[in-house]
């Protein structure tokens, strides 16, 4: 037997060894976190995105990133409590509410909603087809309703005949469940989601708590703009809260197992009506009930995107692996960075939602290489850089839309001269494009060159007489000269 002193020394050694290992692991985690944070900064900076709020969860590992500033020109930093517009990520929380009401027996997914409503003032009374619309059709976007309508939400096809993304459908379902329950959307959300899950910074309408937290500020105009409760788009929340919701959703918390399975099972093929989506992408994207579905080389994922103009949001989650990521930005270009963000936190793979939604550059890697060369050699050398890259890459042929987006990214980042050089380069590539002339005109207008702006707007109208925007700009600029 070892003497007592030796045993004590041995225990102390093992304790020190464990502490050293724990410290080493902690340092590795800190270093990895710092590297990912730097990578995120590198991803968003070129697009002029002022800040990002992101949560990534893999099993028991939770990472929170709060980078940059709330909005362009703001001196207030993004924190874990900063509240953003969730935009269409609102639909997923509402869908969860509807499925809970379904589990409680308060609503049928397949009974026509008009059975509950009696009438609805957004529908054209002359069209009898509205009566066919059900909750299931709303949640899988097959109602035939437009995303947003005018005086009436006129049907663009017979209900349940194909897929077309619709905010109007969600508003119809919202009014239905409010009538059925006698409660407002936000009351239902508090009852069914926010309070049970502990989502303390979430609401479908403005609350005084957001006075110091909202990314868009708390001016009377901002407050007034966020009072309407809309299932399709008005959720105000933060990434931390939304990650809590996603954890509940992928674990099936609050839902019957068969109900959660139904949500994550293909209900529509998501072949978006009158949208040009390539055949290969269509094979990998479908729609469940309230959530998008992706199947790629690593498995099955649920996902959704959000777009309220300057507010952009995205989430993706793998129910089997218990992995998820959600982020919010206050930037027009917030969805152009999704692929790069996902490849930072997950293994590199095909992210079909990014191709299906069509926000990012179509030729992402080539555009990034082209952009890098522009930064090095100068934007006035765009044509020469194009020739150099074509010599090295026979497939190098940048789409007009990608180059146009780059011009506007630069313009939003106050790089107006660089933007004009890109618009001129794009026009050289597409001399018959009305849109190329229109964009160049906007660039000149931003620079203060009104004569060149008018000249190019006129050419845009000549090529496309239906371009009412260009016609209005010509009138505005010519009146300003008087």
Q: What is the mean pLDDT of each successive set of 10 residues along the chain, which is 482 residues long?
A: 62 66 54 87 96 96 96 94 98 98 98 97 95 98 97 96 98 98 98 98 97 95 96 98 98 98 97 94 98 98 97 98 98 97 97 96 96 97 97 96 97 95 98 97 96 97 96 94 75
Distances in Å between the Cα of 348 and the Cα atoms of 39, 297, 370 are 15, 10, 22
In terms of Cα–Cα distance, which of 71, 68, 61 is closest to 38?
A: 68
Q: What is the pLDDT of residue 21?
A: 59
**Helix H or strand E segment including 401:** helix 400-412
What tokens appear for 112 in the block?
């026509």
Beta strands in 297-418 (DSSP E): 299-308, 311-318, 323-330
Domain extents in the chain: 85-357, 364-481
User: What is the dotted CATH code of the domain comprising 364-481?
Assistant: 1.25.40.10
Q: What is the pLDDT of residue 34?
A: 85
Q: What is the pLDDT of residue 3?
A: 62
SS3 for 431?
Answer: coil
**Could you check whether 85-357 and 364-481 share the same CATH topology?**
no
Q: State the DSSP code for 57.
A: E
- Whether the CB-CB separation of 244 and 197 falls below 8 Å is answered with yes
Q: What is the pLDDT of residue 23?
A: 57
Cα–Cα distance for residue pair 292/290, rounded to 1 Å: 7
Pairing of strands 311-318, 61-68: unpaired
Query: Does 85-357 carry CATH code 1.20.1560.10?
Result: no
Q: What is the pLDDT of residue 319?
A: 97
Q: What is the pLDDT of residue 481?
A: 78
């Amino acid at each position: 037997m070892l003497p007592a002193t030796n045993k004590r020394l041995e225990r102390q050694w093992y304790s020190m060894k464990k502490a050293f290992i724990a410290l080493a692991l902690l340092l590795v985690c800190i270093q990895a976190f710092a590297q990912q944070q730097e990578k995120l900064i590198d991803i968003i900076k070129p697009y002029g995105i002022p800040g990002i709020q992101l949560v990534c969860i893999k099993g028991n590992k939770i990472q929170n990133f709060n980078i940059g500033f709330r909005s362009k020109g703001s001196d207030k930093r993004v924190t874990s409590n900063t509240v953003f517009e969730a935009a269409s990520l609102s639909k997923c929380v509402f869908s969860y509410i509807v499925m809970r009401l379904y589990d409680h027996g308060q609503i049928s997914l397949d009974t026509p909603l008009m059975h509950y409503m009696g009438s609805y003032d957004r529908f054209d009374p002359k069209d009898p087809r509205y009566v066919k619309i059900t909750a299931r059709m709303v949640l899988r976007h097959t109602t035939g309703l437009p995303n947003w309508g005018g005086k009436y939400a006129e049907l663009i096809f017979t209900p349940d005949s194909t897929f077309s993304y619709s905010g109007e459908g969600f508003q119809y379902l919202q009014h239905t469940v409010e009538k059925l329950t006698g409660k407002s959307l936000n009351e239902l959300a508090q009852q069914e989601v926010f309070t049970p899950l502990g989502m303390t910074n979430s609401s479908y309408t403005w609350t005084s708590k957001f006075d110091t937290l909202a990314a868009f500020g708390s001016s009377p105009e901002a407050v007034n703009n966020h009072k309407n409760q809309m299932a399709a788009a008005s959720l105000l929340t933060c990434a931390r809260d939304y990650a809590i919701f996603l954890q509940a959703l992928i674990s099936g918390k609050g839902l019957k197992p068969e109900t959660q399975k139904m949500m994550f099972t293909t209900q529509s093929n998501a072949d978006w009506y009158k949208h040009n989506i390539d055949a290969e992408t269509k094979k990998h994207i479908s729609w469940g009930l309230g959530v998008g579905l992706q199947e790629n080389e690593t498995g099955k994922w649920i996902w959704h995107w959000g777009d309220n103009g300057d507010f952009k949001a995205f989430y993706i989650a793998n129910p089997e692996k218990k992995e998820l990521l959600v982020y919010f930005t206050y930037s027009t270009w917030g969805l152009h960075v999704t692929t790069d963000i996902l490849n930072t936190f997950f293994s590199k793979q095909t992210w079909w939602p990014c191709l299906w939604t069509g926000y990012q550059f179509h030729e992402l890697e080539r555009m990034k290489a082209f952009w890098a060369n522009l930064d090095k050699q100068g934007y006035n050398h765009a044509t020469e850089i194009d020739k150099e890259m074509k010599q090295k890459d026979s497939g190098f042929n940048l789409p007009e839309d990608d180059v146009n987006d780059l011009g506007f990214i630069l313009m939003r980042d106050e790089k107006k001269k660089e933007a004009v050089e890109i618009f001129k380069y794009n026009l050289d590539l597409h001399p018959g494009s009305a849109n190329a002339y229109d964009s160049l005109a906007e660039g000149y207008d931003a620079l203060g060159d009104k004569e060149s702006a008018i000249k190019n707007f006129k050419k845009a109208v000549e090529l496309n007489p239906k371009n009412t925007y260009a016609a209005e700009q010509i009138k505005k600029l010519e009146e300003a000269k008087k």
